[in-house]
Structure 1
Amino acid sequence: MHQLIAKKLEVLRTQKPLVVNITNYVVMNNTANALLAIGASPIMAHSRQEVAELMTFSGSLVINIGTLDSIWIERMRFAIEHANINGKPVILDPVGCGASHLRTQTSREFCELAEKLIIRANASEVMALADIQSQVKGVDSQDSSESAVIAAKTLIERYHANHVVISGKEDFVVGENSVSKFSNGSHLMPKVTGMGCSHTALTGAFAAIDFENAGLCATGLLGVAGELAEKQSQGPGSMQLHLLDQLHLLNSRDIEYTLQCSVSS
Protein backbone atom coordinates (compact mmCIF):
# COMPACT_ATOMS: atom_id res chain seq x y z
CA MET A 1 0.00 0.00 0.00
CA HIS A 2 2.77 2.46 0.95
CA GLN A 3 4.65 1.94 -2.31
CA LEU A 4 1.48 2.11 -4.40
CA ILE A 5 0.45 5.44 -2.91
CA ALA A 6 3.94 6.91 -3.23
CA LYS A 7 4.12 5.87 -6.87
CA LYS A 8 0.70 7.31 -7.70
CA LEU A 9 1.64 10.60 -6.05
CA GLU A 10 4.68 10.77 -8.32
CA VAL A 11 2.53 10.08 -11.38
CA LEU A 12 -0.02 12.71 -10.38
CA ARG A 13 2.64 15.37 -9.94
CA THR A 14 4.04 14.52 -13.36
CA GLN A 15 0.71 14.48 -15.19
CA LYS A 16 -0.98 17.35 -13.30
CA PRO A 17 -4.50 16.19 -14.23
CA LEU A 18 -7.28 18.71 -14.75
CA VAL A 19 -10.12 18.20 -12.26
CA VAL A 20 -13.47 19.85 -12.99
CA ASN A 21 -15.21 20.84 -9.75
CA ILE A 22 -18.85 21.76 -9.35
CA THR A 23 -18.63 22.39 -5.66
CA ASN A 24 -20.15 24.55 -2.97
CA TYR A 25 -19.51 28.22 -2.25
CA VAL A 26 -18.10 27.52 1.21
CA VAL A 27 -15.16 25.39 0.09
CA MET A 28 -14.17 26.47 -3.42
CA ASN A 29 -10.98 28.15 -2.24
CA ASN A 30 -10.08 25.29 0.14
CA THR A 31 -10.48 22.54 -2.43
CA ALA A 32 -8.74 24.46 -5.21
CA ASN A 33 -5.76 25.05 -2.93
CA ALA A 34 -5.68 21.40 -1.85
CA LEU A 35 -5.63 20.27 -5.48
CA LEU A 36 -2.88 22.71 -6.36
CA ALA A 37 -0.84 21.69 -3.31
CA ILE A 38 -0.95 17.98 -4.17
CA GLY A 39 0.06 18.72 -7.76
CA ALA A 40 -3.22 18.64 -9.72
CA SER A 41 -4.90 21.38 -11.75
CA PRO A 42 -8.34 22.50 -10.52
CA ILE A 43 -11.02 24.33 -12.45
CA MET A 44 -14.23 25.48 -10.77
CA ALA A 45 -16.70 25.28 -13.63
CA HIS A 46 -20.39 25.98 -13.08
CA SER A 47 -21.54 27.18 -16.48
CA ARG A 48 -23.59 24.86 -18.67
CA GLN A 49 -22.09 26.73 -21.63
CA GLU A 50 -18.61 25.31 -21.02
CA VAL A 51 -18.87 22.13 -18.97
CA ALA A 52 -19.61 19.86 -21.97
CA GLU A 53 -16.41 21.09 -23.63
CA LEU A 54 -14.35 20.78 -20.45
CA MET A 55 -15.37 17.17 -19.94
CA THR A 56 -13.83 16.21 -23.29
CA PHE A 57 -10.30 16.87 -22.03
CA SER A 58 -10.47 16.89 -18.23
CA GLY A 59 -9.43 13.95 -16.08
CA SER A 60 -12.44 13.72 -13.77
CA LEU A 61 -15.53 15.45 -12.42
CA VAL A 62 -16.12 16.29 -8.75
CA ILE A 63 -19.73 16.93 -7.73
CA ASN A 64 -20.27 18.45 -4.27
CA ILE A 65 -23.87 19.29 -3.30
CA GLY A 66 -23.08 21.42 -0.26
CA THR A 67 -24.93 24.57 -1.39
CA LEU A 68 -27.71 23.01 -3.40
CA ASP A 69 -30.56 24.60 -5.34
CA SER A 70 -32.58 23.85 -8.48
CA ILE A 71 -30.16 25.67 -10.80
CA TRP A 72 -27.14 23.80 -9.43
CA ILE A 73 -28.94 20.46 -9.65
CA GLU A 74 -29.55 20.98 -13.37
CA ARG A 75 -25.93 21.99 -13.95
CA MET A 76 -24.61 19.01 -12.02
CA ARG A 77 -26.91 16.61 -13.87
CA PHE A 78 -25.71 18.01 -17.21
CA ALA A 79 -22.06 17.68 -16.16
CA ILE A 80 -22.50 14.07 -15.07
CA GLU A 81 -24.16 13.23 -18.38
CA HIS A 82 -21.15 14.62 -20.24
CA ALA A 83 -18.71 12.85 -17.94
CA ASN A 84 -20.53 9.65 -18.94
CA ILE A 85 -20.31 10.51 -22.64
CA ASN A 86 -16.55 11.00 -22.33
CA GLY A 87 -15.93 8.05 -20.00
CA LYS A 88 -14.71 10.23 -17.12
CA PRO A 89 -14.94 9.36 -13.42
CA VAL A 90 -17.51 11.13 -11.27
CA ILE A 91 -16.70 11.63 -7.59
CA LEU A 92 -19.83 12.47 -5.63
CA ASP A 93 -19.81 14.22 -2.25
CA PRO A 94 -23.43 14.00 -0.98
CA VAL A 95 -23.02 16.76 1.59
CA GLY A 96 -25.81 16.68 4.15
CA CYS A 97 -27.51 13.65 2.63
CA GLY A 98 -30.19 12.69 5.14
CA ALA A 99 -30.57 16.25 6.44
CA SER A 100 -33.25 17.11 3.90
CA HIS A 101 -35.37 15.36 1.30
CA LEU A 102 -33.82 17.50 -1.46
CA ARG A 103 -30.26 16.50 -0.60
CA THR A 104 -31.10 12.83 -0.18
CA GLN A 105 -33.09 12.49 -3.40
CA THR A 106 -30.55 14.48 -5.42
CA SER A 107 -27.68 12.35 -4.12
CA ARG A 108 -29.49 9.16 -5.07
CA GLU A 109 -30.36 10.52 -8.52
CA PHE A 110 -26.72 11.39 -9.19
CA CYS A 111 -25.58 7.94 -8.03
CA GLU A 112 -28.00 6.36 -10.49
CA LEU A 113 -26.83 8.65 -13.29
CA ALA A 114 -23.03 8.38 -12.98
CA GLU A 115 -21.48 5.49 -14.88
CA LYS A 116 -17.97 5.63 -13.35
CA LEU A 117 -18.79 6.48 -9.75
CA ILE A 118 -16.84 6.98 -6.54
CA ILE A 119 -18.67 8.20 -3.43
CA ARG A 120 -16.83 10.14 -0.70
CA ALA A 121 -18.85 11.05 2.38
CA ASN A 122 -19.01 10.90 6.15
CA ALA A 123 -20.64 7.95 7.89
CA SER A 124 -24.07 9.50 8.40
CA GLU A 125 -24.24 10.57 4.74
CA VAL A 126 -23.27 7.09 3.55
CA MET A 127 -25.91 5.49 5.76
CA ALA A 128 -28.62 7.95 4.70
CA LEU A 129 -27.74 7.42 1.05
CA ALA A 130 -28.18 3.68 1.56
CA ASP A 131 -31.49 4.28 3.38
CA ILE A 132 -30.09 2.98 6.66
CA GLN A 133 -31.01 4.90 9.82
CA SER A 134 -28.35 7.45 10.64
CA GLN A 135 -27.81 10.39 12.97
CA VAL A 136 -27.40 13.52 10.89
CA LYS A 137 -26.79 17.00 12.31
CA GLY A 138 -26.81 19.37 9.37
CA VAL A 139 -23.76 18.38 7.33
CA ASP A 140 -21.95 16.78 10.29
CA SER A 141 -21.83 13.07 11.03
CA GLN A 142 -23.06 11.69 14.33
CA ASP A 143 -22.13 8.11 13.40
CA SER A 144 -18.75 6.40 13.50
CA SER A 145 -17.09 5.73 10.17
CA GLU A 146 -16.86 2.01 10.93
CA SER A 147 -20.64 1.82 11.41
CA ALA A 148 -21.14 2.81 7.75
CA VAL A 149 -19.08 0.02 6.16
CA ILE A 150 -22.11 -2.23 5.56
CA ALA A 151 -24.01 0.71 4.09
CA ALA A 152 -21.08 1.41 1.78
CA LYS A 153 -21.20 -2.16 0.48
CA THR A 154 -24.90 -1.68 -0.17
CA LEU A 155 -24.15 1.41 -2.25
CA ILE A 156 -21.52 -0.43 -4.29
CA GLU A 157 -24.04 -3.11 -5.15
CA ARG A 158 -26.95 -0.75 -5.74
CA TYR A 159 -25.21 1.89 -7.83
CA HIS A 160 -22.23 -0.08 -9.18
CA ALA A 161 -19.86 2.38 -7.53
CA ASN A 162 -16.24 1.40 -7.85
CA HIS A 163 -15.64 2.22 -4.19
CA VAL A 164 -16.95 4.30 -1.30
CA VAL A 165 -14.69 6.45 0.87
CA ILE A 166 -15.92 7.06 4.43
CA SER A 167 -14.31 9.92 6.34
CA GLY A 168 -14.18 10.08 10.12
CA LYS A 169 -11.92 9.63 13.10
CA GLU A 170 -10.72 6.64 11.14
CA ASP A 171 -11.21 6.51 7.38
CA PHE A 172 -12.41 3.53 5.38
CA VAL A 173 -12.16 2.82 1.67
CA VAL A 174 -14.70 0.16 0.82
CA GLY A 175 -14.45 -1.78 -2.42
CA GLU A 176 -16.41 -4.72 -3.73
CA ASN A 177 -14.02 -7.24 -2.20
CA SER A 178 -11.98 -5.34 0.38
CA VAL A 179 -12.13 -2.79 3.18
CA SER A 180 -9.08 -0.59 3.82
CA LYS A 181 -8.82 1.20 7.15
CA PHE A 182 -6.66 4.32 7.61
CA SER A 183 -5.73 5.57 11.07
CA ASN A 184 -3.90 8.83 10.41
CA GLY A 185 -5.17 12.40 10.56
CA SER A 186 -5.58 14.91 13.38
CA HIS A 187 -8.17 15.95 15.94
CA LEU A 188 -7.92 19.44 14.45
CA MET A 189 -9.12 18.39 11.00
CA PRO A 190 -12.86 18.35 11.87
CA LYS A 191 -12.46 21.91 13.14
CA VAL A 192 -11.46 23.18 9.67
CA THR A 193 -14.35 23.69 7.27
CA GLY A 194 -14.21 21.82 3.99
CA MET A 195 -11.76 19.14 5.07
CA GLY A 196 -14.04 16.38 3.80
CA CYS A 197 -14.65 18.36 0.62
CA SER A 198 -10.90 18.57 0.08
CA HIS A 199 -10.79 14.79 0.57
CA THR A 200 -13.34 14.48 -2.22
CA ALA A 201 -11.39 16.79 -4.52
CA LEU A 202 -8.16 14.87 -3.93
CA THR A 203 -10.02 11.66 -4.73
CA GLY A 204 -11.00 13.30 -8.00
CA ALA A 205 -7.37 14.10 -8.75
CA PHE A 206 -6.27 10.51 -8.28
CA ALA A 207 -9.32 9.18 -10.15
CA ALA A 208 -8.01 11.04 -13.18
CA ILE A 209 -4.86 8.91 -13.20
CA ASP A 210 -6.01 5.67 -11.50
CA PHE A 211 -9.74 5.17 -11.04
CA GLU A 212 -9.38 1.90 -9.14
CA ASN A 213 -7.04 3.24 -6.45
CA ALA A 214 -8.19 6.85 -6.20
CA GLY A 215 -9.80 6.55 -2.77
CA LEU A 216 -6.83 4.73 -1.29
CA CYS A 217 -4.35 7.34 -2.49
CA ALA A 218 -6.36 10.42 -1.52
CA THR A 219 -7.31 9.01 1.89
CA GLY A 220 -3.81 7.89 2.77
CA LEU A 221 -2.15 11.12 1.72
CA LEU A 222 -4.63 13.49 3.34
CA GLY A 223 -4.35 11.54 6.60
CA VAL A 224 -0.56 11.65 6.54
CA ALA A 225 -0.55 15.36 5.67
CA GLY A 226 -2.98 16.08 8.51
CA GLU A 227 -0.91 14.17 11.04
CA LEU A 228 2.28 15.94 10.03
CA ALA A 229 0.56 19.34 9.94
CA GLU A 230 -0.75 18.95 13.48
CA LYS A 231 2.81 18.89 14.82
CA GLN A 232 3.27 22.47 13.65
CA SER A 233 -0.23 23.79 14.40
CA GLN A 234 -1.61 25.70 17.38
CA GLY A 235 -5.26 25.52 16.30
CA PRO A 236 -7.60 25.27 13.30
CA GLY A 237 -6.27 28.38 11.57
CA SER A 238 -2.65 27.30 11.47
CA MET A 239 -3.79 23.73 10.79
CA GLN A 240 -5.30 24.79 7.48
CA LEU A 241 -2.10 26.60 6.55
CA HIS A 242 0.24 23.76 7.47
CA LEU A 243 -1.96 21.12 5.84
CA LEU A 244 -1.54 22.78 2.45
CA ASP A 245 2.20 22.93 3.01
CA GLN A 246 2.32 19.25 3.91
CA LEU A 247 0.29 18.22 0.86
CA HIS A 248 2.83 20.09 -1.23
CA LEU A 249 5.84 18.60 0.60
CA LEU A 250 4.71 14.97 0.90
CA ASN A 251 7.26 12.42 -0.24
CA SER A 252 7.79 8.67 -0.19
CA ARG A 253 9.62 8.84 3.13
CA ASP A 254 6.66 10.57 4.81
CA ILE A 255 4.35 7.89 3.46
CA GLU A 256 6.62 5.02 4.49
CA TYR A 257 7.07 6.19 8.09
CA THR A 258 3.69 7.77 8.82
CA LEU A 259 0.94 5.95 6.92
CA GLN A 260 -1.10 3.56 9.07
CA CYS A 261 -3.43 1.29 7.11
CA SER A 262 -4.79 -2.24 7.12
CA VAL A 263 -6.83 -4.23 4.62
CA SER A 264 -9.50 -6.84 5.24
CA SER A 265 -11.97 -8.68 3.05
Structure 2
Amino acid sequence: MAQSSLLHELRSQSPLVHCITNIVVANFQANGLLALGASPIMAGAIEEAAEVAAVSSCTLLNIGTLDSSVVESMIAAGKSASIKGRPLVLDPVGAGATVFRKRTVAKLLEELEITLIRGNAGEIASIAGVEWEAKGVDAGDGSANIVEAAIDVARRHHCLVVVTGETDIVTDGEKIIRITGGHPLMARITGMGCLLSAVCAAFLSVGKHALLDAVAYSLAFYKKAGELAAERASGPGDFAVHFLNAIFQMDDAAIELGQIVVEEGVVK
Protein backbone atom coordinates (compact mmCIF):
# COMPACT_ATOMS: atom_id res chain seq x y z
CA MET A 1 0.00 0.00 0.00
CA ALA A 2 1.36 3.39 -0.98
CA GLN A 3 1.92 5.84 1.82
CA SER A 4 -0.46 8.35 0.25
CA SER A 5 -3.39 5.93 0.52
CA LEU A 6 -3.03 5.24 4.22
CA LEU A 7 -5.25 8.06 5.47
CA HIS A 8 -7.97 7.21 2.94
CA GLU A 9 -7.74 3.55 3.88
CA LEU A 10 -8.00 4.34 7.58
CA ARG A 11 -11.08 6.48 7.12
CA SER A 12 -12.65 3.83 4.90
CA GLN A 13 -12.06 1.04 7.40
CA SER A 14 -12.61 3.05 10.63
CA PRO A 15 -10.44 0.65 12.64
CA LEU A 16 -11.47 -0.21 16.18
CA VAL A 17 -8.63 0.99 18.41
CA HIS A 18 -8.57 -0.67 21.83
CA CYS A 19 -6.93 1.61 24.39
CA ILE A 20 -5.95 0.50 27.86
CA THR A 21 -4.85 3.94 28.81
CA ASN A 22 -4.53 6.46 31.61
CA ILE A 23 -7.23 8.58 33.23
CA VAL A 24 -5.48 11.85 32.42
CA VAL A 25 -5.74 11.47 28.64
CA ALA A 26 -8.60 9.05 27.92
CA ASN A 27 -11.08 11.70 26.74
CA PHE A 28 -8.58 13.55 24.55
CA GLN A 29 -7.34 10.27 23.13
CA ALA A 30 -10.84 9.07 22.26
CA ASN A 31 -11.80 12.39 20.66
CA GLY A 32 -8.57 12.42 18.66
CA LEU A 33 -9.23 8.95 17.29
CA LEU A 34 -12.78 9.92 16.36
CA ALA A 35 -11.50 13.05 14.58
CA LEU A 36 -9.01 10.88 12.69
CA GLY A 37 -11.76 8.54 11.51
CA ALA A 38 -11.04 5.60 13.80
CA SER A 39 -13.32 4.09 16.46
CA PRO A 40 -11.94 4.16 20.03
CA ILE A 41 -12.84 1.71 22.77
CA MET A 42 -11.42 2.11 26.28
CA ALA A 43 -11.73 -1.29 27.98
CA GLY A 44 -9.31 -1.88 30.83
CA ALA A 45 -11.15 -4.38 33.03
CA ILE A 46 -9.56 -7.80 33.29
CA GLU A 47 -12.99 -9.36 32.74
CA GLU A 48 -13.15 -8.07 29.15
CA ALA A 49 -9.71 -6.82 28.07
CA ALA A 50 -8.75 -9.96 26.14
CA GLU A 51 -12.18 -10.25 24.53
CA VAL A 52 -12.14 -6.64 23.34
CA ALA A 53 -8.58 -6.98 22.01
CA ALA A 54 -9.63 -10.03 20.01
CA VAL A 55 -12.22 -8.05 18.05
CA SER A 56 -10.24 -4.81 17.77
CA SER A 57 -8.07 -3.73 14.85
CA CYS A 58 -5.18 -2.88 17.17
CA THR A 59 -4.43 -2.45 20.87
CA LEU A 60 -2.61 0.30 22.75
CA LEU A 61 -1.10 -0.22 26.21
CA ASN A 62 -0.41 3.07 28.02
CA ILE A 63 1.08 2.96 31.55
CA GLY A 64 0.48 6.61 32.44
CA THR A 65 -1.65 5.99 35.54
CA LEU A 66 -0.51 2.55 36.52
CA ASP A 67 -1.86 0.06 39.04
CA SER A 68 -1.30 -3.66 39.49
CA SER A 69 -4.74 -4.73 38.22
CA VAL A 70 -4.29 -2.88 34.94
CA VAL A 71 -1.00 -4.69 34.31
CA GLU A 72 -2.82 -8.03 34.23
CA SER A 73 -5.40 -6.55 31.86
CA MET A 74 -2.61 -5.33 29.58
CA ILE A 75 -0.99 -8.75 29.46
CA ALA A 76 -4.31 -10.47 28.74
CA ALA A 77 -5.19 -7.95 26.02
CA GLY A 78 -1.71 -8.04 24.52
CA LYS A 79 -1.65 -11.81 24.22
CA SER A 80 -5.10 -11.79 22.68
CA ALA A 81 -4.11 -9.14 20.13
CA SER A 82 -1.02 -11.11 19.10
CA ILE A 83 -3.00 -14.34 18.68
CA LYS A 84 -5.27 -12.48 16.26
CA GLY A 85 -2.29 -10.93 14.45
CA ARG A 86 -3.24 -7.38 15.39
CA PRO A 87 -0.71 -4.57 16.01
CA LEU A 88 0.19 -4.01 19.66
CA VAL A 89 1.60 -0.62 20.72
CA LEU A 90 3.27 0.13 24.05
CA ASP A 91 3.45 3.69 25.39
CA PRO A 92 5.86 3.41 28.36
CA VAL A 93 4.88 6.70 30.04
CA GLY A 94 7.48 7.64 32.65
CA ALA A 95 9.22 4.29 32.20
CA GLY A 96 12.18 5.27 34.32
CA ALA A 97 10.36 7.33 36.94
CA THR A 98 9.76 4.56 39.50
CA VAL A 99 10.76 0.97 40.17
CA PHE A 100 7.14 -0.10 39.60
CA ARG A 101 7.11 1.40 36.13
CA LYS A 102 10.49 -0.08 35.23
CA ARG A 103 9.38 -3.53 36.34
CA THR A 104 6.05 -3.21 34.54
CA VAL A 105 7.65 -2.25 31.23
CA ALA A 106 10.14 -5.11 31.56
CA LYS A 107 7.28 -7.53 32.26
CA LEU A 108 5.23 -6.35 29.30
CA LEU A 109 8.20 -6.58 26.96
CA GLU A 110 9.07 -10.04 28.25
CA GLU A 111 5.58 -11.52 28.00
CA LEU A 112 4.14 -9.76 24.94
CA GLU A 113 4.95 -9.46 21.24
CA ILE A 114 5.03 -5.68 20.95
CA THR A 115 4.76 -4.19 17.46
CA LEU A 116 5.79 -0.65 18.37
CA ILE A 117 7.20 1.15 21.40
CA ARG A 118 6.49 4.90 21.23
CA GLY A 119 8.15 7.08 23.83
CA ASN A 120 10.18 10.19 24.49
CA ALA A 121 13.94 10.15 24.82
CA GLY A 122 13.91 9.54 28.59
CA GLU A 123 11.51 6.60 28.29
CA ILE A 124 13.45 4.91 25.50
CA ALA A 125 16.74 5.52 27.31
CA SER A 126 15.31 3.85 30.42
CA ILE A 127 14.28 0.75 28.44
CA ALA A 128 17.70 0.66 26.79
CA GLY A 129 19.40 0.97 30.19
CA VAL A 130 21.51 4.00 29.27
CA GLU A 131 22.29 7.10 31.33
CA TRP A 132 19.56 9.73 31.18
CA GLU A 133 18.10 12.28 33.59
CA ALA A 134 14.37 11.97 33.03
CA LYS A 135 11.99 14.35 34.81
CA GLY A 136 8.95 12.33 35.85
CA VAL A 137 7.06 11.59 32.65
CA ASP A 138 8.94 14.30 30.72
CA ALA A 139 11.84 13.55 28.40
CA GLY A 140 14.54 15.19 30.54
CA ASP A 141 18.15 15.47 29.37
CA GLY A 142 21.06 13.17 28.76
CA SER A 143 24.28 12.72 26.83
CA ALA A 144 23.63 9.18 25.60
CA ASN A 145 23.19 8.54 21.87
CA ILE A 146 19.42 8.13 21.78
CA VAL A 147 19.44 6.84 18.19
CA GLU A 148 21.76 4.00 19.19
CA ALA A 149 19.55 3.35 22.22
CA ALA A 150 16.45 3.11 20.01
CA ILE A 151 18.21 0.73 17.62
CA ASP A 152 19.28 -1.45 20.53
CA VAL A 153 15.74 -1.60 21.94
CA ALA A 154 14.30 -2.42 18.51
CA ARG A 155 16.75 -5.28 18.02
CA ARG A 156 16.41 -6.71 21.52
CA HIS A 157 12.63 -6.71 21.47
CA HIS A 158 12.11 -7.35 17.75
CA CYS A 159 9.84 -4.36 17.30
CA LEU A 160 9.65 -0.85 15.92
CA VAL A 161 10.76 1.99 18.18
CA VAL A 162 9.75 5.64 17.94
CA VAL A 163 11.51 8.41 19.86
CA THR A 164 9.48 11.59 19.69
CA GLY A 165 10.86 15.08 20.08
CA GLU A 166 11.68 18.11 17.97
CA THR A 167 12.63 15.58 15.30
CA ASP A 168 10.98 12.16 15.58
CA ILE A 169 12.96 8.99 14.95
CA VAL A 170 11.55 5.59 14.03
CA THR A 171 13.65 2.46 13.55
CA ASP A 172 13.19 -1.25 13.07
CA GLY A 173 16.76 -1.88 14.20
CA GLU A 174 18.06 -1.82 10.63
CA LYS A 175 16.73 1.36 9.05
CA ILE A 176 16.32 4.83 10.58
CA ILE A 177 13.70 7.36 9.48
CA ARG A 178 13.63 10.93 10.79
CA ILE A 179 10.50 13.09 10.69
CA THR A 180 10.72 16.86 11.04
CA GLY A 181 8.04 19.49 11.66
CA GLY A 182 5.51 20.08 14.38
CA HIS A 183 5.24 23.08 16.73
CA PRO A 184 6.37 23.89 20.31
CA LEU A 185 2.74 24.25 21.46
CA MET A 186 2.40 20.48 21.07
CA ALA A 187 4.53 20.11 24.20
CA ARG A 188 2.13 22.34 26.18
CA ILE A 189 -0.84 19.95 25.97
CA THR A 190 -1.09 16.90 28.19
CA GLY A 191 -1.86 13.76 26.27
CA MET A 192 -0.30 14.76 22.95
CA GLY A 193 2.17 11.89 23.08
CA CYS A 194 -0.48 9.49 24.32
CA LEU A 195 -2.81 10.39 21.46
CA LEU A 196 0.09 10.00 19.03
CA SER A 197 0.60 6.43 20.23
CA ALA A 198 -3.07 5.71 19.51
CA VAL A 199 -2.80 7.35 16.08
CA CYS A 200 0.24 5.19 15.32
CA ALA A 201 -1.74 2.11 16.33
CA ALA A 202 -4.60 3.10 14.02
CA PHE A 203 -2.28 3.61 11.05
CA LEU A 204 -0.47 0.34 11.79
CA SER A 205 -3.78 -1.49 11.58
CA VAL A 206 -4.22 -0.40 7.94
CA GLY A 207 -0.52 -0.49 7.01
CA LYS A 208 0.37 -4.01 8.10
CA HIS A 209 2.36 -4.79 4.95
CA ALA A 210 4.80 -1.90 5.48
CA LEU A 211 4.86 -1.23 9.20
CA LEU A 212 7.87 1.08 9.29
CA ASP A 213 6.45 3.26 6.52
CA ALA A 214 3.04 3.34 8.21
CA VAL A 215 4.58 4.65 11.43
CA ALA A 216 6.67 7.26 9.60
CA TYR A 217 3.54 8.43 7.79
CA SER A 218 1.60 8.70 11.06
CA LEU A 219 4.37 10.81 12.60
CA ALA A 220 4.43 13.16 9.60
CA PHE A 221 0.64 13.41 9.70
CA TYR A 222 0.70 14.29 13.39
CA LYS A 223 3.41 16.91 13.09
CA LYS A 224 1.62 18.57 10.18
CA ALA A 225 -1.60 18.67 12.22
CA GLY A 226 0.36 20.46 14.95
CA GLU A 227 1.61 23.06 12.48
CA LEU A 228 -1.87 23.72 11.11
CA ALA A 229 -3.35 24.00 14.61
CA ALA A 230 -0.65 26.44 15.71
CA GLU A 231 -1.49 28.78 12.81
CA ARG A 232 -4.97 29.25 14.29
CA ALA A 233 -4.30 29.01 18.03
CA SER A 234 -3.57 31.83 20.48
CA GLY A 235 -2.25 29.50 23.21
CA PRO A 236 -2.48 26.01 24.68
CA GLY A 237 -6.20 26.27 25.50
CA ASP A 238 -7.51 26.64 21.98
CA PHE A 239 -4.57 24.77 20.43
CA ALA A 240 -6.07 21.49 21.62
CA VAL A 241 -9.37 22.32 19.90
CA HIS A 242 -7.67 23.41 16.68
CA PHE A 243 -5.51 20.29 16.77
CA LEU A 244 -8.56 18.01 16.81
CA ASN A 245 -10.03 20.05 13.97
CA ALA A 246 -6.78 19.73 12.00
CA ILE A 247 -6.78 15.95 12.39
CA PHE A 248 -10.37 15.88 11.15
CA GLN A 249 -9.81 18.22 8.19
CA MET A 250 -6.47 16.96 6.89
CA ASP A 251 -6.13 14.98 3.70
CA ASP A 252 -3.17 13.33 1.99
CA ALA A 253 -2.36 16.50 0.06
CA ALA A 254 -1.69 18.37 3.30
CA ILE A 255 0.97 15.93 4.47
CA GLU A 256 4.46 16.93 3.40
CA LEU A 257 6.25 13.66 2.78
CA GLY A 258 9.46 15.67 2.43
CA GLN A 259 9.40 15.71 6.23
CA ILE A 260 10.23 11.99 6.13
CA VAL A 261 13.95 11.37 5.66
CA VAL A 262 15.16 7.78 5.34
CA GLU A 263 18.76 7.15 6.35
CA GLU A 264 20.08 4.25 4.33
CA GLY A 265 23.05 2.18 5.34
CA VAL A 266 23.62 3.84 8.69
CA VAL A 267 22.89 0.95 11.02
CA LYS A 268 25.84 -1.34 11.69
Name the residue aligned to 2:180: 183
Contact 1:97-1:128 within 8 A present in 2 as well: yes
Q: Deviations over 1:42-70 (max 9, x none)?
A: 00011222222222221111000000011
SS at match of 1:188: helix
- In structure 1, C-alpha distance between the alignment counterparts of 2:180 and 2:78, rounded to whole Å: 32
Contact 1:123-1:145 within 8 A present in 2 as well: no
Contact 1:229-1:242 within 8 A present in 2 as well: yes
Q: For structure 1, which runs of at least 5 residues remain unmatched after alignment?
A: none
- In structure 1, C-alpha distance between the alignment counterparts of 2:65 and 2:252, rounded to whole Å: 36
Q: For structure 2, which runs of at least 5 residues remain unmatched after alignment?
A: none
Deviates more, 1:165-174 or 1:61-70: 165-174
Deviation at 1:113, TM superposition (A): 2.0
Name the residue aligned to 1:100: 98
Give the TM-score, by structure 2 length.
0.92
Deviates more, 1:99-108 or 1:46-55: 46-55
Deviates more, 1:122-131 or 1:72-81: 72-81
Q: What code does the residue aligned with 1:111 have?
A: L
Deviates more, 1:82-91 or 1:243-252: 82-91
Q: Counterparts of 1:143-182 in structure 2 under 5 Å?
A: 143=141, 147-161=145-159, 163-182=160-179
Contact 2:131-2:142 within 8 A present in 1 as well: no
Name the residue aligned to 1:83: 81
Q: 1:106 to 1:226 in 2, by over 3 A?
A: same
Name the residue aligned to 1:254: 254
How big is the alpha-carbon RMSD for the aligned residues of Structure 1 and Structure 2?
A: 1.8
Name the residue aligned to 1:207: 204
Name the residue aligned to 1:142: 140
Deviation at 1:217, TM superposition (A): 2.2
- In structure 1, C-alpha distance between the alignment counterparts of 2:251 and 2:204, rounded to whole Å: 20
Name the residue aligned to 1:225: 225
Contact 1:145-1:170 within 8 A present in 2 as well: no
Name the residue aligned to 1:47: 45
Contact 1:122-1:167 within 8 A present in 2 as well: yes
SS at match of 1:224: helix
Name the residue aligned to 2:244: 244
Deviates more, 1:9-18 or 1:247-256: 247-256
- In structure 1, C-alpha distance between the alignment counterparts of 2:204 and 2:69, rounded to whole Å: 27
Moved over 2 A (4+): 3-6, 143-147
Deviation at 1:83, TM superposition (A): 1.5
Deviates more, 1:14-23 or 1:144-153: 144-153
Deviates more, 1:140-149 or 1:11-20: 140-149
